[in-house]
Amino acid sequence: MAVPPEVLNKILSPTPTAPARKIAIAAPDKLGGRTKSTDGALVKSASDMQTRMSGIPDTASVVSVFYGSHAKKNLVLVVAFGTKITATNSKEAPAELLTAMMSGDPSVQIVKQPSTADAGSLGGAAACGEAKVQGVQTAGCAWGDEGSIGGIIWYYKSVEKAQAEFHALRAEIEKVS
C-alpha cells in the first residue's frame, strides 16, 4: 500500500506560522503490545515507503513500520509524519490519505469508504474505512492536525474493532507537548 506523492502534495501545505503545540512522531518499539515486524518483505515495503515520503517537502519525523505478524493475525501498518497542514485542508486530509493507502494497489477492494471519525483527545480530524487486501479484511484510520498526519491499517480487523484501538495507538505514535 503506497501513497502517491501527488496525493501527499495535495493534502500537505505549509502554514505561515508554527503550530501552537509541539508535535513529535515516532515509531515505538511496541505498538499496542505488538512488536515491530521482522518479516523481510514487510520491512522492505515499509522502508521503501518511508524513503519516498522523506522526500516530500515540509515533512519531518517520517515513520513507516509494520507491527505484529500475519501468522498471529495482528498485523498493523503505521504511516505517519510531522508536517504543517492548513485549516482549509486538515478536515479532508485524513480521508484522502486513507483512501490513497487503501487503494494504491490493484489487489485492494474498498468495502467502506473512509468517513469522518472521532479524532480523540489529540484533536484534529480523523477518518476510518474498511477494505480487502488480497481477500484479507483490513481497516484503517487516519488523522491530520496542525503538526502531523498519519494512518494506521489493521489487517484481519473490522473498522469497528480498529476504531476501538485507534486513539490508544495514535497516542503511542504522536506525542504532544
pLDDT tens sequence across 157-173: 999 999 999 999 999 99
Q: How far apart are CA 18 and CA 1, in angstroms?
A: 31
pLDDT tens sequence across 81-109: 888 765 545 667 787 777 776 666 666 67
Q: How far apart are CA 143 and CA 113, in angstroms?
A: 15
Short-list 174, 127, 153, CA closest to 34 = 153
Instruction: Give 3-state DSSP helix, strand, coil % of the chain, rounded to 5.
Output: 30, 35, 35
> pTM of the full predicted structure?
0.82
C-alpha cell at 71: 501468522
- 100, 164 Cβ separation under 8 angstroms: no
What domains, with CATH codes, occur in the chain?
Answer: 5-176 (3.40.1000)
